[in-house]
Chains A and B, each alone.
Chain A
Amino acid sequence: QVTLKESGPGMLQPSKTLSLTCSFSGFSLSTSGMVVSWIRQPSGKSLEWLAAIDWDGDKYYNPSLKSRLTVSKDTSNTQVFLKITSVDIADTATYYCARAEVYYSGWDYWGQGVMVTVSS
């Protein structure tokens, strides 16, 4: 059974660094083709793809945010991390991690999302 779960600080102040963790089970990120992405959704709005890391350790970033994003994974291939530096109010959103078995298959499993509020 594939599951993903995001965790994060809940609330943080502007200019700080946001650290998110995606913990998953039921698959391994070392499996050829596997990709885990980070996607966010401000309340009541559409979604925005942020970053991804694949089975081979290759990393992909949204160019509009690339300078502020770092995606990584742990050596056991059961967790993926996302750091966003210099957060501001516009980064307030629900953050999801989602997996794709291969690059063309779509995000077939999603976490429940973690809400992050940036506020002073």
Chain B
Amino acid sequence: DVVLTQTPPTSSATIGQSVSISCRSSQSLLDSDGNTYLYWYLQRPSQSPQLLIYLVSKLGSGVPNRFSGSGSGTDFTLKISGVEAEDLGVYYCVQGTHDPPTFGGGTKLELK
């Protein structure tokens, strides 16, 4: 299975600060169809995950534009430009290029 390694495991931020989370894949996520099936989810405490980003950089429906995704091949980044209190929780990257879909270990975003 494809292994996704997220760094850092924990990030502390103040409100308004910008933060970046890295996701590195053990294999290229570029599919033969030209798409890269890399996703980002946020799981707030005691809630189900919610979709933030799909296909590396496309914003999910209703997701604030302070979230952005970038990257290619094996290296991907989620950036939050101006953290708000509602952004706290655990962020997961997910790949869907190779079967089975796999999740990263998560990055916990805390308030400093």
Residues on A close to B: CB < 8 A? 46-49, 60-64, 96, 98, 103-108, 110-113
Contact = CB atoms under 8 A, between A and B. Distances in A.
| Interface size range on B against A | 20 to 34
Given A96-B48, A113-B48, A108 B61 contact: yes
A27 to B, nearest CB: 14
Mostly helix, strand, loop or mixed at chain A's interface? loop
Contacts of B99: 60, 63
Nearest to B40: A106
Judged by DSSP, the binding face of B is: loop
B64 interface: no
A108 B106 contact: no
B30 interface: no
A66 B60 CA distance: 30
Contacts of A112: 48
A104 B35 contact: yes
Interface string B22-57: 000000000000010101010000001111011100
A13 B85 CA distance: 41
Q: Which of B51, B60, B104, B105 has the most CB of A within 10 A?
A: B51
A110 B51 CA distance: 9
B54 A111 contact: no
Contacts of B105: 46
Given A106-B54, A106-B60, A49 B49 contact: no
B109 to A, nearest CB: 15
Most buried by B among A46, A48, A105: A46
A60 B37 CA distance: 17
Contacts of B49: 47, 96, 98, 107, 110
